[in-house]
Each structure stands twice: as C-alpha cells, then as structure tokens.
Amino acid sequence: MEYIVETRKLTKRFGKEFAVSDLAMKIPKGEIYGFLGPNGAGKTTTIRMLLGLMQPTAGSVRIFGSDLKKDRINILKKVGSLVENPSYYPHLTAAENLEVLRKIYGTEKNRVNEVLEIVRLSDVANKKVKGFSLGMKQRLGIAAALLNRPELLILDEPTNGLDPSGIIEIRNLIKRLPSIYGMTIVISSHLLSEIDQIATTVGIVSKGKMIFQDSIDVMRTFSKQSVVVKVNESEKAWRSLMAKGIQGELHDGKILLVDKTDQEIAAIIRNLVQNGHDIYRVEEDKRSLEDIFLQMTAEEERV
Amino acid sequence: MYHLLDAEWLKLRKSKITFIMFVGPIVGMILGLTVSTDMFPDEINHWFSTLMVMNLTYALLFLPLITGVLASTICRYEHQAGGWKQLLALPVTRGKVFIAKYLLLIVLIFAMQVLYLGAVVTIGFIHQYTDPFPMEIVWKSILGGWVATFPLAALQLWMSLMFKSFAAPLAVNVIFTLPAILAVNSEKVGPYYPWAQPFSMMYIGGDTKDVFFIPWEQLITVVGGGFLLFFLCGYIYFQRKAV
Ligand SMILES: Nc1ncnc2c1ncn2[C@@H]1O[C@H](COP(=O)(O)OP(=O)(O)OP(=O)(O)O)[C@@H](O)[C@H]1O
Ligand SMILES: [Mg+2]
C-alpha cells in the first residue's frame, strides 16, 4: 500500500515526559485521516514533527515516500498546514498575509484571490487581520494552507473555538477538497463528532500512543449493540437469568444485555415472561462512535 | 533567497519601521542644532565640529540601541501570532530565513546611517557653512559606523529570535551599550569592547592612516570576531529552535 505519511517509532520527550511515544502513523493516499485524541494526547506535537518544526527525540518520518530529514524542502513544497491556533501577521491585511506566503512558494499571483474565494474571505481581503474574528482567522489559515495546491493538507484542530455553524462550514469546505485536488488530508480533533462525517480513516492517540488506527468502518464495528430491558423486580429477574447462565448487567433497575443475537434476546424475554415478570420496556442502546472513542481512551487512561 | 527577502520586505514595509529609523538621525539633528560648537577653535572645519558633537550621542547610544530595536521589530510580527510556525513550515531552510533577516537588518541600519548623513548635511545648510564638505572623512565615518554594528546586529537578532518580548532583547542591549560610555574613555578596554566600536569607527578625530578610523587588527579581531561569534550562535540557535 502506498502511504503518503508514514512514521516509525516516532518519539518526543519533554524532560521526563513522553508526549509522543513509538508512534506508527500510516496514512494511505487520498484518505481523510481523522487524528483523534483527548487534550494533551500528543496530536500537535506529532504534527509539529511531521512538518519539521520540532525535532523528534527518536524515530523517523516519511512523507511522499521520502525521508523528512533528508528531503524536507521538496516535501514541504507539496504540503499545506495549519498548526494549532491560526498563524497570521496582525499588521497585514488578509490578502497581504497570503501574498507574503505566495512570494515564498512562488505560486502565481492570482492564486491569492482564488484561495480567498475558496474560504469566502474575498469581501474582507483588504482588511487588517488584527480585527478578524476567530472564525475568519481560522479560514484565513486554511486559505494559506491551500495556497500551494498541496498534495497533503495537515489541519490541526481547524474547528477549535468555532461556533456550530462555523464548524459545519469548515467541515463542508474540507469535504469538498479531496474531490477538487485529489489531496490527502490529516485533520486532528479531540472530538470524534467533528470528523466522523468526513474522515475515512482514523488514528486515535492517547498519552502519546497510537491505540487504534484503521478505517472508520472498522471502528464502527466496535459499536456493540446492547439491549436494555426494564422489568419489575429487576434484581430477582436478573438473578433468574444469571442462574440460567445468561450474562447481563444490572444497572439502575434495568437489565443490560450486551452483544446478543435476535434469537437470544427473544429467548431471554420469553424466559422472563414465563417467570411472571412484567416487561415495561425493551430498548436498543447503540453506542455511538463517540462512546467507543471515549471508552478506548478511558481504558488507556486506567492502564 | 530573493523571494524570501521580497516577502520580508512586504512584512516590514507595513510595520512602524520608518518611525524607528528616523529617531536616531532626528535626535542627532536636534543635538547638532542646539549644541554649540563654540568650544572648537574657529579654524576647524565647521562640518568637523558639528559631526564631533552629533556623533557623541548618536554613535555611542542611538546607533547601538536602535540596531537592537530594529532587530526586535523584524522578529516581532513573527512572534505575535504564530508567524514562526507558519514561516518555517514553508519550503525554506532556517539558515536562509536567518540570513534574510540579518541582511534586512543591516540594510536598515545602512539606511539609517544615510539618514544621519542627511541630518548632518541639513544642519550645515541651516547654519550656512562655507567650509568645504569633507566628503571622504564623512563617508568613512558613516560606513565605518555601519560596519561596526555588524556584530551588535548579529547579537540582537539572536536575542530577538530567542525572546518573544520586546523588553528582554532591549535590556540586553542597554546593559552592553551603557558601559560603552566608559569604555571609549579607556585606552585599555575601548579597543576591545564591541559596543564601543560604532563610536570609534565614526570618530573622525581618529587615526586616518587606515581605511577606517581604527587599526585593521582591531577591525578584524573585535568587529570581525564579534560578528562571527554572535552570528554563528544565532544561526545555530535558530537551527534548533522548536516552534
Ligand atoms: N514545548 C513543550 N514543552 C514541554 N511540554 C510540552 C511542549 N509541547 C507539548 N508539551 C506536552 O506534551 C503533551 C502533548 O501535547 P500536545 O500539544 O501535543 O497535545 P494535543 O494532543 O495537541 O492536545 P490538545 O487537544 O489540547 O491540542 C502535553 O502533555 C504537553 O504538556
Ligand atoms: Mg493540539
């Protein structure tokens, strides 16, 4: 498989603490890679190392098949990025900010207007960025990342601090990009819900370690279904099921049945009815991806 | 490299740089206008005596101090809102960024020296000097003063890259610049103290046998050596800086 980004044993230590440890990130071409993890998991640190802004303590980074250390300039020509809070020159206008970067990339002059159009900032192109709202600065940051028509776009929490409509807008913008340019996108977030509709592959980090990395469909299969049964005399009912060797959990007077087939559920209900229990409710409780994500990272915390 | 300088220039042009550049020459001009040159005997060229008076504060204080302020200014907009991480994630080497900033800095200092020369000439016109303009000596002084700031500019650039705040590099600058007042009066320390060199190299009363107003050995060891040391330290620091 052709990987656009591949890290091997990537490690970063600050003092005694490992912000990133032995990270093996693999991003196939053309994917939208959701890079997830709770606050302080090491996402930004990883991204800084991908861009050569920070030297790894150990390990290597390969992008477009070349070693970042050896071929940094050629790699960065084809990468666009937005790291953490948006970067900008406050004393310049939006257009001037992009012009500074354009000069260095050597892209054609009109590209500035094009990217301003893409992020819908054309109206304020000649206003100083100092006075921009966070959302506008965020969009300017994305415009800057698109300036060189990158093959790899790295966005670190691009929706951080935005209101819901801003989030939706950025999400729609990002969704359009691969089809326009055929690019590979890495987008980090601490909320799965922000990317679950756009990501095709996910990598989950917790405490600097990669704890899951696969397609989002594989992640969905982790969302086990459970059935919640509300009965009278729930404890007695639960004991009778246990006595028959049926695994279940008792929770707030409800019986939780995890991962059962339809036949098994039918048999359990029949059993309860025959034992004279009143069944008030039988509900399906499908765990959301967010729950799985939370559980995965919580499990890691406990270790 | 050209593209990088072009980009730097755009950022700089829109900042408050012009104001800063005029401070030194204007203060020099005010001094030249107000301070009397009566203490010099009348047979001395008036341009000479004026330059002597103006150089004292300008070369000893303003030139080194404003060199530092200019260094901080060209780094300030990078520190303000994540400029470094954006700039260094572009396809440029850090070495080139450092050199571009340094070149820009010394070009600015040169422009300031030219403005200062303008101030001197203006005063001469105001006072209607009739003495011949000592072109060669004045240029020697202006160029020499510029060359003498090379090590200072390198140190101040290094400090400005390291510290986000405006105050820290300025403090370093003041701490090293003020003793220059004492150093220039000492035959022992004066020739070796880098912050005293702008004054020594602009001091038109100095020895004129060499190209500048200081001996070659002093120019090479103190100015050249200081430049090399500070430039390399700054360069290496910037290579490793995590942003
Ligand atoms: N320059 C630094 N010096 C020391 N420690 C650091 C530095 N940068 C990050 N860390 C530490 O490394 C860990 C990972 O930080 P990082 O910013 O990569 O997390 P993150 O996943 O991006 O979090 P968030 O969701 O809050 O952005 C944290 O514990 C942080 O305190
Ligand atoms: Mg982060």
**ipTM of this complex prediction, to 2 decimal places:** 0.85
Cβ–ligand 1 distance for A37 under 6 Å, the answer: yes
pLDDT band at A262 (very low <50, low <70, confident <90, very high): confident
pLDDT for residue B229: 95
Give strand pairing partners of A93. A128
Mean pLDDT, range A157-173, rounded to an integer: 83
Tens of pLDDT, residue by residue over B190-212, are: 778 888 888 888 877 766 666 67
B231-243 residue pLDDT tens: 999 999 999 898 8
Which DSSP category does B220 fall into? I
Ligand 2 centroid distance, CA of B11 (Å) = 28
- Does A285 have pLDDT greater than 60? yes
Mutation pick for ligand 1 pocket among A13, A36, A43 (CB with most ligand atoms within 8 Å):
A43
pLDDT at B14 over 90: no
List the shell of residues around ion ligand 2, using CB closer than 5 Å.
A 43-44
pLDDT level of residue A301 (50, 70, 90 thresholds) = low
Band (A81; pLDDT cuts 50, 70, 90): very high
What's the pLDDT score for residue B209? 66
Q: Two tokens at B84?
A: 């470094």
Of A8-17, A211-220, A279-288, B112-121, give the lowest mean pLDDT range.
A279-288
pLDDT at residue A112, as a whole number: 95
pLDDT value of position A94: 95
Question: A83 pLDDT band (50/70/90 cuts)?
Answer: very high
User: Given this model, what pLDDT does residue A162 score?
Assistant: 79
Q: How confident is the model at residue A288 (pLDDT cuts 50, 70, 90)?
A: low
Q: Do B90 and A105 make contact, defined as CB atoms within 8 angstroms?
A: yes
pLDDT tens digits, residue range A86-139? 899 999 999 999 999 999 999 999 999 999 998 889 999 999 999 998 888 999
Q: Which two three-digit tokens encode residue B3? A: 């593209």
State how far the alpha carbon of B68 is from the alpha carbons of A72, A235, A279, B84, in Å. 32, 78, 81, 20
Binned at pLDDT 50, 70 and 90, residue B36 comes out as: low
Q: Is the pLDDT of residue A303 over 60?
A: no
Contact assessment for residue A225 and residue A284, using Cβ atoms and an 8 Å cutoff = yes
- A77 CA → ligand 2 middle, Å: 24
Q: Is the pLDDT assigned to residue A141 strictly greater than 80?
A: yes
Q: What are the chain B neighbours of A152 within 8 Å (beta carbons)?
A: none
A107 touches chain B (CB under 8 A): no
pLDDT band for B50, please (50, 70, 90 cuts). Answer: confident
Which of B2, B90, B240 is the best substitution to test chain A (most A C-beta atoms within 10 A)?
B90
Query: Residue A286: which pLDDT band, with cuts at 50, 70 and 90?
Result: low
Residue-level pLDDT at A152: 94
Q: How confident is the model at residue A223 (pLDDT cuts 50, 70, 90)?
A: low
Q: How many helices (H) and strands (E) does chain A have?
A: 11, 15
Q: How far apart are the first and last CA of chain B?
A: 22
pLDDT at A225: 72
Compute the distance between CA of residue B26 and CA of residue B115 in angstroms, rounded to an integer.
9
What spacing in Å lies between the alpha carbon of B83 and ligand 2's midpoint?
Answer: 17
Cβ of A14 closer than 6 Å to ligand 1, yes or no, is yes
Please enumerate residues of B whose Cβ is less than 8 A from a Cβ of A: 3-4, 6-7, 10-11, 14-15, 77, 80-83, 85-93, 240, 242-243
Between A135 and A78, name the one with better pLDDT: A78
Give the model's pLDDT for residue B46. 77
Cβ count near A198 (within 10 Å): 17
Question: What is the spatial distance between Cα A272 and Cα A239, in angstroms, rounded to a whole number?
Answer: 11
In this predicted model, which residue has the larger pLDDT, A146 or B46? A146
Which structural domain range is residue B183 located in?
2-240
Instruction: Tell me: pLDDT of A266 over 70.
Output: yes
Local confidence band at B40 (pLDDT 50, 70, 90 cut-offs) = low
Q: What is the pLDDT of residue A302?
A: 60
Overall domain count for chain B: 1
Tens digit of each residue's pLDDT (9 = 90 or more) over B159-187: 999 999 888 988 888 998 888 888 877 77
Higher pLDDT, A57 or A246: A57
Mean of pLDDT over chain B: 86
Which residue owns the Cα nearest ligand 1 atom 30? Answer: A40
* pLDDT surpasses 70 at A293: yes
Using DSSP, how many helices (H) and how many strands (E) does chain B show? 13, 0
CA distances from residue B36 to B30, B33, B41, B123 in whole angstroms, order as listed: 11, 8, 12, 12
Q: How far apart are the first and last CA of chain A?
A: 33
Average pLDDT of the residues in A130-152: 92
Which residue is it, tokens 């790295």?
A: A154
Q: In this complex, is the C-beta atom of A130 within 8 Å of any C-beta atom belonging to chain B?
A: no
